[in-house]
Structure 1
Amino acid sequence: MMSGAALVWCPFPDTESARAAADALLDDRLIACANILPGIESRFVWDGARAVGNEVGVLFKTTSERLEDVVERLGELHPYDTPAVIGWHADASYPATLGWLMGSIPE
């Protein structure tokens, strides 16, 4: 697999659980950064019914090599039974950003 950047998006029920997951992933050295975005209104279908909720979104920055590890670990850490954890490989990244990611996260 080619070295590169990757991102993971995941909403949380509150800031505390988002921070706890981010801190755990930083401690595990699976991510280099987590951007916590408060005040997200989520509209979704759950158990066949439309629902609305307030959540906190988090964008996690990692490497392509660790993407699956981040997705799996988030599933373990998340307070929801069925968390929305979506990860993807970044098609492009600024060279200095990629260098920082690679230096922050061991293979």
Structure 2
Amino acid sequence: MLSTLPDAAAADTLAQAVLGARLAACVTNLGVVVSHYHWKNALETAHEVQLLFKTSVARADELQRFVSAHHPYETPEILVWQVDASPDYGRWVNAETQRPIHV
């Protein structure tokens, strides 16, 4: 899953919360990006911090709900897609995110 945050502090706070809830095995801070977008009838440009969350298929929906609930933006960018991982990495991600699922 990919999301953008307004600054490094917000990105670190969300990453730590996600990891603490065991919703991702790893969160990679991809650094500052410049986003250009339409928002409320205006063309905007913003410097944001992009995060890449690595989670299991079983945790993807719960992670999306968690990020949406804890994100500082009114309409957060949350992009989710499934990828193939090496067997060892996939097992590690599954093991790190294994716990009872809360729906």
Structure-2-length-normalised TM-score? 0.92
Structure 2 unpaired stretches of 5+ = none
* Bigger proportion of residues as strand: 1
Q: Which moved more, 1:66-75 or 1:40-49?
A: 40-49
For 2:97 and 2:31, how far apart are their aligned partners in 1? 26
Shift of 1:48: 2.2
Q: Which moved more, 1:79-88 or 1:57-66?
A: 79-88
Q: How many residues align?
A: 99
Task: Say if 2:103 is the partner of 1:106.
Answer: no
The runs of at least 4 consecutive aligned structure 1 residues that moved more than 2 Å come to: none
Structure 1 unpaired stretches of 5+ = 1-7
Structure 2 partner of 1:94: 86
For 2:59 and 2:31, how far apart are their aligned partners in 1? 26
Structure-1-length-normalised TM-score? 0.88
Structure 2 partner of 1:24: 17
For 1:68 and 1:49, how far apart are their aligned partners in 2? 31
What amino acid is aligned across from residue 96 of structure 2 in structure 1? S
CA RMSD of aligned residues (A): 0.9
* Cα deviation code 1:2-58 (max 9, x no counterpart): xxxxxx100000011111111111110000000012220001111122111000000
Is the CA contact 1:63–1:102 (under 8 Å) kept in the aligned structure 2?
yes
Task: Say if 2:51 is the partner of 1:58.
Answer: yes
Is the CA contact 1:67–1:88 (under 8 Å) kept in the aligned structure 2?
no
Aligned counterpart in structure 2 of residue 36 of structure 1, from 29, 35, 44: 29
What SS class does the counterpart of residue 83 from structure 1 fall into?
Answer: coil
